[in-house]
Amino acid sequence: MELGHLPVLADEVVTMLAPAPGSLQIDATLGGGGHTERILGATDPDGRLLGLDADGAAVARVDRRLRPRFGERLVLRQSNFRQLGRVAPEAGFGAVDGCLFDLGLSSFQLADADRGFGIRTGGPLDMRFDTSRGVPASDLLGSLDTAELTALFRRYGEEPYAPRIARAIVAERAAAPLRSAEELAALVERVAPRTPPGRRPVHPATRVFQALRIAVNEELDALQEGLTAALDLLRPGGRLVVLSYHSLEDRIVKRFFQQERRGCVCPPEVPVCVCGRSPRLRLVTRRSVTSSPSEIAVNPRARSARLRAAERLAA
Ligand SMILES: C[S@@+](CC[C@H](N)C(=O)[O-])C[C@H]1O[C@@H](n2cnc3c(N)ncnc32)[C@H](O)[C@@H]1O
């Protein structure tokens, strides 16, 4: 079977979504289609699922793998999930029972040496999920000044050595542009200290690569817009499930859930609510759910996963 990406917390995702036969589901991040396969299987014999991915290669791969089993029950679109509010109704998914976001990148993308996502895989520094839009990471590295690069590595990578790395990039590119993942990884390795002894060893360029990927794909804005659109599409009782892989993503999900659970957005000093907003979500998970040591042993990607789930209220 062509399945290079193991779905993270797959049982928990299905339990939280609780997909029923005949229901309508959305997988906003198809990847290898592992979650899609499990969700559609749970809606046998007549549930339908709309699957989205910004990456056309992911959509084509899932089409090849799952179409023979699910036929017309699987509806696929290449799209950024920030367009969900338009794409879903156009595809006949204007009111749905469940929506999953499994954020970040897939093992297929990480292993693809033409994409530049992987520190160890190497390749041209592109990092776009959708290679037909936006600018590749190498353009950002070639055009931003030291202050802008520092801010990017701090904001999206929480990188403590951001100024040092930014200065080194600007000095290096004066001689020749930085084009490959190998060159960037080697530069960061040269200027940023290694992980101190006793801490889990991570490559010193991990946070820089994360920051560039987030910036290139405008991931945090897309997440905020995707969550808002998904909530509007959910029927009362419908479930929203999100898997995030770093604190910046998880913070957005947590705040979104808290705000929609509270409803009212009036400042605390206002004695009576004037905004008129009522709660639209009930939390299904009070705290985030994480992977077991046995899952992490077979799937290292699961190590940083955090799952949060909420249910749409009638408001
Ligand atoms: C972690 S993988 C999903 C894996 C999938 N759940 C599975 O079981 O195989 C994340 C996928 O989301 C896609 N993606 C990331 N951000 C996106 C966005 N804003 N819109 C659409 N797809 C996005 C990536 O291209 C990638 O294929």
Q: What digits encode the pLDDT tens for the residues 189-205?
A: 999 887 767 777 788 99
Give, as one character, the DSSP assignment of residue 194.
Answer: P
Spell out the alpha helix ranges (H) of the chain.
Answer: 10-17, 34-42, 56-70, 84-90, 107-111, 137-143, 146-157, 162-175, 181-191, 206-216, 219-233, 247-262, 293-298
- Whether ligand 1 lies within 6 angstroms of the CB of 31 is answered as yes
pLDDT at 275: 87
pLDDT given for residue 198 in this prediction? 73
For ligand 1, pick from 112, 129, 132, 227 the residue to mutate: most ligand atoms within 8 Å of CB: 129
- Ligand 1 centre distance from Cα of residue 58 (Å): 8
Domain ranges of the chain: 10-107+219-312, 130-216
Closest ligand 1 atom number to CA of residue 81: 20
Q: Which atom of ligand 1 is nearest to the CA of 33?
A: 9
Which residue, judged by its Cα, is nearest atom 14 of ligand 1? 29
Backbone phi and psi for residue 184, each to the nearest 5 degrees, phi listed first: -65, -45
Determine which residue's CA is closest to atom 12 belonging to ligand 1.
Answer: 29
Residue at token pair 């200027």: 191
| Cβ-based burial of 272 (10 A; exposed 0-12, middle 13-18, buried ≥19) | exposed
With a 6 Å cutoff on the Cβ, whether 105 touches ligand 1 is yes
Ligand 1 site, residue 33, Cβ cutoff 6 A = yes
Q: Please identify, by atom number, the ligand 1 atom nearest to the C-alpha of residue 35.
A: 8
Question: Residue for token digits 């006949």?
Answer: 92
How much is the pLDDT for 264?
A: 87
Instruction: Tell me the CA–centroid distance for residue 168 and ligand 1, in Å.
Output: 32
Residue 142 is predicted with a pLDDT of 96
pLDDT of residue 99: 98
Nearest-CA residue for ligand 1 atom 10 is 105
The arrangement of strands across the sheet holding 234-244 comes to: 74-78, 48-53, 24-27, 96-102, 234-244, 306-312, 281-283
Pick from 2, 47, 44: which is nearest to 23 by CA?
47
Nearest CA to ligand 1 atom 20: 80
Which of ligand 1's atoms lies nearest the C-alpha of 32? 9
Domain 10-107+219-312 annotated CATH 3.40.1080.10? no
Q: What is the pLDDT of residue 3?
A: 45
Q: Which atom of ligand 1 is nearest to the CA of 55?
A: 25
Decide whether any atom of ligand 1 lies within 6 Å of the 150 Cβ: no
CA of 113 to the centre of ligand 1 (A): 18
pLDDT of residue 63: 98
Give the residue, by CA position, lying nearest to ligand 1 atom 27: 31
What pLDDT, on a 0 to 100 scale, did the predictor assign at position 120?
A: 84
* 28-83 pLDDT per residue, tens: 999 999 999 999 999 999 999 999 999 999 999 999 999 999 999 999 999 999 99
What's the pLDDT score for residue 19?
A: 97
C-beta 34 within 6 A of ligand 1:
yes
Atom of ligand 1 nearest to the CA of 30: 5
CA distance 238 to 80: 22
What are the residue ranges in the chain where pLDDT is below 70?
1-3, 196
7 lines ligand 1 (CB under 6 A): yes
* CATH architecture entry for 130-216: Orthogonal Bundle (1.10)
State in Å: Cα 53 to ligand 1 middle.
Answer: 6
